[in-house]
């Protein structure tokens, strides 16, 4: 009787071990190749989409719907994700054996809609450093004299269909005024012909109540510059040592993604990025990267995966922070997902994956370059346009892209 029990125990142990091994191999992508009568080591492609329910094509052939896992022989595949009413997502992915490759296709409307935010005509549009607020001037005339002054739009992350109304923070004729945002976006230093004024962006102050701080202007600006420098220094301090050296010596302008896992930057001089700055991860991006950075080109560095991608060849003509100059008319900024970038270009607005691939034109038409701004809600952008009517002042619009 004891021998039978031992035999049953060993048999059970063998079955459990065998099933566990098969499950482990299956999870790693191993499949039975009935044609060649052998077990082949495949890779797994986990493909998702936002919105879901899209079709997945591999090398032009329909395979499945999104939110699926495909077992594929190791190879390079041209993957397309399609859904009616949305732009097609395309990417070339390398599938490696025993590796799970994840891809999420964020789909954008093929016919985005516009809805007006302002109606009075605006000028001098300036975003805060983190794009959480947008400021602009309403000019006074016979029809809207009561609206003239400096206005603010809060890019709050509100539910779809809801938004905060623009609000005025000071009045008066400010057509010839200029202003600078504080690093935290809570104050504006306004300069007019009559003086310089420090204004809180959370409250309204009339022109008769504004306090002239011209004597403190230089100190305020220096304090703000020191605050920005300290913030950037603290961000760089968190980087791996080898990467920190490159950013201290070869980069002047950069912007961390909202989740601070990636850095958008333009090289101020050429340098080499060593491999192995961080420990490689299985299933990391297989897109072509650039370890040799060149002066004047714009890149994205993925801190987690130790990957560096070329984004734009003409970075000297590209802003990656707030502001605007005629010498750098284009602007690039982070999309709220931290996985995409928004490029404001001549006559079009492009959203691309963080590695520079899958560039999709989400808007093509008349707008005032480079005034296309991300919002904290991922379903829309804010653009400045007169809709092609050059004899009328432009207004700000929500551009619904999802």
- Per the listing, tokens 């499949």 go with 31
- Answer whether 172's CB lies under 8 Å from 148's CB: yes
Q: Between these two residues, 174 and 159, which has the higher pLDDT value?
A: 174
pLDDT category, 21, cuts 50, 70, 90? low
Report helix, strand or coil for 292.
strand
Report residue 24 as tokens: 């482990």
Residue 29 pLDDT exceeds 70: no
Mean per-residue pLDDT for 54-80?
Answer: 94
Mean per-residue pLDDT for 182-211?
Answer: 95
Q: Which DSSP letter does residue 368 get?
A: -
Alpha helices (H) along 155-282: 217-237, 241-250
pLDDT category, 391, cuts 50, 70, 90? confident
- Rounded to the nearest integer, the mean pLDDT of the chain is 87
DSSP symbols for 256-267 = E-TTSSEEEEEE
pLDDT 10s digits, 101-140: 999 999 999 999 999 999 889 999 999 988 889 999 998 6
Q: Report d(CA 285, CA 91) in Å as an integer.
A: 11
pLDDT of residue 160: 47
Mean per-residue pLDDT for 249-271?
Answer: 93
Q: Report d(CA 140, CA 58) in Å as an integer.
A: 58
Cα torsion at 352, 356, 361, 362 (round to 10°)?
10
- Check whether the bond before 331 is cis (ω within 30° of 0): no
Q: Report d(CA 381, CA 373) in Å as an integer.
A: 6
The crossing angle, in degrees rounded to 10, of helices 241-250 and 217-237 is 150
Cα torsion at 213, 214, 217, 218 (round to 10°)?
-140
pLDDT category, 161, cuts 50, 70, 90? very low
Domains within the chain, CATH numbers bracketed = 2-106 (2.60.40), 123-215 (no CATH), 217-400 (2.40.128)
Other residues' Cβ atoms within 10 Å of the Cβ of residue 303: 18
DSSP symbols for 26-46 = HHTTEEEETTTTEEEE-EEEE
Q: Which residue, 159, 192, 199, is CA-closest to 173? A: 192
Residue 56 pairs in a beta bridge with 64, 81
pLDDT of residue 207: 93
pLDDT of residue 99: 87
- Answer whether 390's CB lies under 8 Å from 370's CB: no
Residue 231 pLDDT exceeds 70: yes
pLDDT category, 8, cuts 50, 70, 90? low
- For the sheet containing 68-72, what is the strand order? 68-72, 43-50, 100-106
Residue partners of 225: CB distance under 8 A and separation at least 6: none
- Check whether the bond before 401 is cis (ω within 30° of 0): no
pLDDT of residue 41: 73
Q: Which of 40-49, 302-311, 315-324 has the lowest mean pLDDT?
A: 315-324
pLDDT 10s digits, 337-384: 899 999 999 999 999 999 999 999 999 999 999 999 988 878 899 999
First and final CA of the chain: distance in angstroms? 69
Q: Between these two residues, 285 and 217, which has the higher pLDDT value?
A: 217
Q: Report d(CA 352, CA 335) in Å as an integer.
A: 9
pLDDT category, 298, cuts 50, 70, 90? very high
Residue 272 pLDDT exceeds 70: yes
pLDDT 10s digits, 69-107: 999 999 999 999 999 999 999 999 999 988 889 999 999
pLDDT of residue 284: 84
Mean per-residue pLDDT for 322-351?
Answer: 84
Report residue 232 as tokens: 């950037």
Question: For residue 62, how far is the Cα from the chain centroid?
Answer: 30
Residue 23 pLDDT exceeds 60: no
pLDDT of residue 26: 55
Residue partners of 173: CB distance under 8 A and separation at least 6: 139, 140, 148
Residue 389 pLDDT exceeds 90: no
Q: Report d(CA 120, CA 141) in Å as an integer.
A: 10
């Amino acid at each position: 009787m004891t021998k039978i029990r031992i035999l049953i125990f060993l048999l059970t142990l063998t079955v459990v071990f065998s099933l566990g091994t098969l499950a482990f191999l299956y999870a790693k992508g191993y499949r039975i190749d009935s044609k060649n009568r052998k077990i082949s080591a495949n890779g797994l492609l986990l493909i998702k989409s936002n919105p879901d329910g899209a079709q997945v094509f591999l090398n032009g052939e329909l395979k499945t719907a999104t939110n699926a896992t495909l077992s594929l022989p190791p190879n390079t595949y041209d993957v397309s994700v399609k859904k009616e009413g949305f732009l097609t997502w395309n990417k070339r992915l390398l599938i490696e054996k025993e590796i799970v490759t994840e891809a999420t296709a964020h789909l954008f409307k093929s016919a985005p809609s516009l809805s007006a935010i302002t109606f009075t005509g605006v000028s001098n549009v300036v975003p805060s450093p983190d794009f959480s607020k947008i400021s602009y001037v309403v000019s006074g005339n016979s029809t809207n004299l009561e609206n003239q002054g400096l206005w603010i739009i809060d890019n709050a992350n509100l539910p779809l269909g809801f938004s905060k109304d623009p609000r005025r923070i000071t009045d008066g004729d400010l057509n010839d005024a200029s202003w600078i945002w504080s690093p935290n976006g809570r104050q504006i230093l306004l300069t007019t012909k009559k003086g310089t004024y420090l204004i809180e962006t959370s409250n309204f102050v009339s022109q008769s109540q504004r306090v002239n701080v011209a004597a403190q202007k230089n100190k305020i600006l220096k304090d703000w510059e020191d605050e920005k420098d300290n913030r950037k220094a603290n961000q760089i301090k968190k980087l791996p040592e080898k990467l920190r050296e490159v950013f201290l010596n070869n980069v002047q302008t950069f912007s961390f993604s909202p989740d601070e896992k990636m850095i958008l930057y333009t090289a101020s001089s050429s340098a080499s990025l060593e491999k192995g700055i961080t420990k490689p991860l299985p299933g990391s991006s297989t897109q072509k990267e650039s370890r040799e950075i060149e002066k004047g080109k714009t890149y994205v560095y993925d801190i987690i995966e130790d990957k560096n991608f070329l984004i734009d060849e003409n970075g000297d003509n590209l802003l990656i922070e707030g502001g605007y100059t005629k010498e750098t008319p284009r602007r690039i900024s982070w999309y709220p997902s931290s996985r995409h970038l928004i490029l404001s270009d001549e006559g079009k607005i492009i959203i691309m994956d963080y590695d520079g691939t899958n560039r999709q034109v989400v808007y093509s038409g008349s707008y005032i370059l480079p005034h296309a701004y991300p919002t904290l809600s991922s379903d829309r952008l804010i653009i400045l346009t007169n809709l092609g009517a050059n004899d009328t002042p432009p207004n700000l619009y929500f551009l619904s892209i999802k």
